[in-house]
């Protein structure tokens, strides 16, 4: 009305036309803002109705924080349990400690993949140790999926103690939710070898898939139990964190303790960890055992040493040697993607051969690695923010950079 009146007056100047445009733009902006608020409220309502409220946390901790996903330094963003240490046994240092440097040709890749820690142990002594970005020997870093190997060690300890009778036991002996249907066919060994046949939808790109909800959600056990079997148990290898979480649920059931407390008592204190560790939990206090163990490069190396010594630590048998051997033997399973026999996985440990050296190792999504090379009596630890693309054998290509750097130092 006001603008129509102005347009009808001879005295209207450019200022009047500008005012009309401003009024029009204000109306458009108000409608846009109202629409945006409506879309936001509808979206929030849908998240609430569908049980996906955790996506708000995903957005807040990633996109709105300038990140593309979870990172290695998020300990204090979630609840956690402490994994206590006792009577630390520091690593001895080699007479050649830090005398050799990383080759300049390889160092560029260390920087490209945002490495924060690199450690080499040779003959039970520290040969090389280097840190970036302000990290040091006491900095704790998220394991991500390296925690799966720790979980496997704890299952071995529970077997040794008789808390679990044998790995071919059905899971239903410990978890009542597995007493009917195809779930009744699943054994502990199937969980260890990622062959439960349960469809956990291991999609790392989707905020609606199991990994995202397990990491950011409030009840990882409830999430894990609601997934259904899609393949015959014990036939297909399909990497998925849900199998590991079920192992954690079994551990809590048979020990009557949090997994972190059991780890502290039966593992961490026994191997002389220099620093206490931490295990992230969900809002119910359940340890997220498929990921999220936090410790230092030096203490990660101890886990490889334990298995290099066939489960024995300075004369004390922590894990039966037979279980260690089985853990580091390729599972007789077909790959879900190729249909071919797998050659790279045991009981939650990765397996490979490089330059004729058999290697077993722990692996996490951001390029966390702990390699053990028995033929060289060597352990290599790499921690960082980023990893390389995978080759045809599901192997991140940056692995070769760290192994080449370590091999050059022997």
Cα distance from N-terminal residue to C-terminal residue, the chain: 86
Q: Which of 19-23, 133-137, 249-253 has the lowest mean pLDDT?
A: 19-23
Asked whether the predicted pLDDT for residue 174 surpasses 80, the reply is: yes
**Residues of the chain with pLDDT > 90: what percent?**
79
How much is the average pLDDT of 393-403? 93
Number of H helices, E strands in the chain: 13, 15
More confident residue, 201 or 264: 264
The predicted pLDDT at position 168 comes to 98
Beta strands 293-295; 141-142: pairing state: antiparallel
Q: What is the DSSP letter of 288?
A: -
Which CATH architecture is the domain 63-407 placed in?
A: 3-Layer(aba) Sandwich (3.40)
Q: Which of 51-60, 132-141, 325-334 has the lowest mean pLDDT?
A: 51-60
The predicted pLDDT at position 45 comes to 47
- Cα–Cα distance measured from residue 239 to residue 229, given in angstroms and rounded to the nearest whole number: 14
- Cα–Cα distance measured from residue 52 to residue 105, given in angstroms and rounded to the nearest whole number: 46
The predicted pLDDT at position 47 comes to 46
Cβ-Cβ contacts under 8 Å for 367 (sequence gap 6 or more): 113, 115, 382, 383, 384, 385, 386, 387, 388, 396, 398
Task: Please report the sign of the dihedral spanned by the C-alpha atoms of residue 171, residue 330, residue 363, residue 235.
Answer: negative
Q: How confident is the model at residue 69 (pLDDT cuts 50, 70, 90)?
A: confident
- Cα–Cα distance measured from residue 402 to residue 410, given in angstroms and rounded to the nearest whole number: 13
| H or E segment to which residue 17 belongs | helix 14-50
How much is the average pLDDT of 302-311? 99
The predicted pLDDT at position 41 comes to 47
Question: Domain spans of the chain?
Answer: 2-50, 63-407
- Cα–Cα distance measured from residue 271 to residue 269, given in angstroms and rounded to the nearest whole number: 6
Asked whether the predicted pLDDT for residue 23 surpasses 90, the reply is: no
Q: How confident is the model at residue 204 (pLDDT cuts 50, 70, 90)?
A: confident
Asked whether the predicted pLDDT for residue 61 surpasses 80, the reply is: no
Tokens of 213: 């909800």
Asked whether the predicted pLDDT for residue 399 surpasses 90, the reply is: yes
Q: Are 387 and 190 in contact (CB under 8 A)?
A: no
Q: Are 120 and 406 in contact (CB under 8 A)?
A: yes
Q: Are 110 and 294 in contact (CB under 8 A)?
A: no
The predicted pLDDT at position 206 comes to 85
The predicted pLDDT at position 410 comes to 78
Asked whether the predicted pLDDT for residue 10 surpasses 60, the reply is: no
- Cα–Cα distance measured from residue 55 to residue 44, given in angstroms and rounded to the nearest whole number: 10
The predicted pLDDT at position 2 comes to 47
How much is the average pLDDT of 199-205? 89
- Mean pLDDT across the chain: 91
The predicted pLDDT at position 26 comes to 67
Q: Which of 45-54, 101-110, 161-170, 270-279 has the lowest mean pLDDT?
A: 45-54
How much is the average pLDDT of 48-75? 75
Q: What are phi and psi of 259, to 5 degrees?
A: -60, -40
Asked whether the predicted pLDDT for residue 378 surpasses 60, the reply is: yes
Q: How confident is the model at residue 17 (pLDDT cuts 50, 70, 90)?
A: low
- Cα–Cα distance measured from residue 199 to residue 229, given in angstroms and rounded to the nearest whole number: 6
**Pick from 123, 135, 154: nearest CA to 293:** 154
How much is the average pLDDT of 91-106? 96
Q: Which residue has the tokens 């390889």?
A: 106
Asked whether the predicted pLDDT for residue 189 surpasses 60, the reply is: yes
The predicted pLDDT at position 52 comes to 64
- Cα–Cα distance measured from residue 256 to residue 250, given in angstroms and rounded to the nearest whole number: 10
More confident residue, 21 or 159: 159
């Amino acid at each position: 009305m006001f603008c129509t009146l102005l347009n009808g007056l001879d005295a209207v100047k450019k200022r009047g036309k500008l005012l009309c445009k401003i009024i029009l733009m204000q109306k458009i902006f108000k409608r846009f803002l109202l629409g945006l608020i409506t879309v936001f409220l509808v979206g929030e309502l849908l998240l609430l109705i569908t049980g996906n409220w955790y996506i708000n946390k995903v957005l807040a901790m990633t996109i709105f924080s300038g990140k593309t996903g979870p990172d290695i330094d998020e300990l204090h963003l979630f609840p956690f349990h402490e994994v206590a240490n006792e009577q630390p046994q520091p690593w001895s240092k080699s007479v050649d400690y830090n005398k050799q440097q990383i080759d300049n040709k390889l160092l560029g890749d260390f920087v490209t993949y945002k490495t924060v820690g690199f450690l080499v142990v040779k003959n039970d002594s520290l040969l090389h140790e280097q840190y970036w970005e302000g990290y040091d020997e006491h900095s704790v870093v998220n394991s991500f999926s390296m925690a799966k190997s720790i979980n496997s060690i704890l299952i071995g300890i529970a077997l040794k103690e008789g808390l679990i009778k044998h790995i071919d036991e059905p899971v239903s002996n410990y978890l009542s939710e597995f007493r009917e249907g195809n779930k009744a066919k699943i054994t502990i060994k199937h969980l260890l070898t990622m062959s439960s046949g349960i469809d956990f939808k291991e999609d790392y790109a989707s905020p609606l898939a199991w990994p995202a909800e397990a990491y950011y959600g409030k009840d990882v056990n409830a999430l894990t139990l609601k997934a259904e079997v899609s393949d015959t148990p014990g036939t297909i290898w399909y990497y998925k964190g849900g199998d590991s979480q079920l192992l954690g649920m079994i551990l809590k059931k048979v020990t009557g303790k949090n997994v972190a407390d059991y780890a502290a008592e039966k593992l961490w204190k026994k191997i002389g960890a220099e620093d206490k560790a931490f295990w992230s939990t969900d809002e119910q206090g359940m340890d997220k055992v498929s990921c999220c163990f936090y410790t230092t490069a030096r203490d990660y190396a101890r886990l490889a040493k334990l298995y290099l010594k066939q489960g024995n630590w300075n004369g004390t048998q922590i894990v039966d040697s037979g279980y260690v051997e089985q853990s580091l033997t390729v599972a007789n399973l077909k790959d879900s993607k190729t249909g071919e026999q797998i050659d790279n996985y045991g009981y939650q440990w990765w397996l490979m051969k490089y330059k004729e050296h058999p290697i077993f190792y722990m692996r996490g999504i951001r390029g966390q690695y702990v390699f053990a090379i028995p033929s060289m009596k060597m352990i290599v630890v790499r921690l960082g923010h980023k990893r390389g693309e995978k080759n045809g054998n599901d192997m991140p290509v940056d692995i070769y950079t760290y192994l080449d750097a370590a091999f050059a130092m022997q």
